[in-house]
Amino acid sequence: MALGQAGGSGRLLAWPRVLLFGDSITEYSFRENGWGTFLAERLVRKCDVVNRGLSGYNTRWAKLILPRLITKNAGAESTVAVAIFFGANDSSLEDLNPKQHVPLDEYAANLKSMIQYLKSVDITEDRIILITPPPLQESAWEKECLAKGYKLNRHNATTGEYAQACVQVARDCGTDVLDLWTLMQENQDFASYLSDGLHLSTKGNSFLAAQLWSRLERRLSALPSLLPYWRDVDHTDPAASLL
């Protein structure tokens, strides 16, 4: 008997999924001790955690990509949560980094556009969480910039304006929000959350993971484990347990 015909065929196993959509801070989240790795470990056998982090991207580009990642016919039904995590590149200074910079008003409009798109494919507000950019440790990031031959191209105060806009969009649209910029600066030594002034350190990854999980746990922890525990499989008739 062919594999696809076994037992008269079972239903396709469709894992629920959490979509992480963001820039390099998301792309790097599956590295060792990354915040995406933390989520994947918590949700193993319950839910796929899908990393769609795109290093260097801003919301102007992201809103064009999102409809290619999820549609009504491909992924929307199984998506139990979407994290949208942009702003670190949008908030670049226009005169020093025009390629990545997005004006503040457009940034907010782009976030709203992405939320509206998700709603149009039946992903409701309660399944969407916005994450603000983290704070910028300027002296550390300036060293990175100078090493590459250019001036400091971001300011923490400017990043804060984008973080506030992100929070306001969440309020306006009825989604959850994780205000990383504010929360991290409640610790006077917020630089320890950052590896180079911009991206997250191990401590920063742990902080984000804990904060995000506290918001997702109530929605996702009740998801059942998929397929029975091995001791519960009837070894004399595994099809009875598995199909």
What SS3 class is residue 4? helix
Question: d(Cα 12, Cα 1) in Å, to the nearest integer?
Answer: 18
Helix, strand, coil shares of the chain, percent, nearest 5, are 50, 15, 40
Question: d(Cα 92, Cα 112) in Å, to the nearest integer?
Answer: 20
- Whether 24 is catalytic: yes
Choice among 92, 101, 195, 199 that is catalytic: 199
- Whether 235 is catalytic: no
- Whether 196 is catalytic: yes
Choice among 24, 113, 192, 206 that is catalytic: 24
Choice among 122, 126, 172, 196 that is catalytic: 196
Comparing CA positions, the residue from 26, 10, 56, 14 lying closest to residue 180 is 26
Q: Is the dihedral of CA 224, 227, 228, 230 positive or negative?
A: negative
Indicate which residues carry an active-site annotation.
Answer: 24, 196, 199
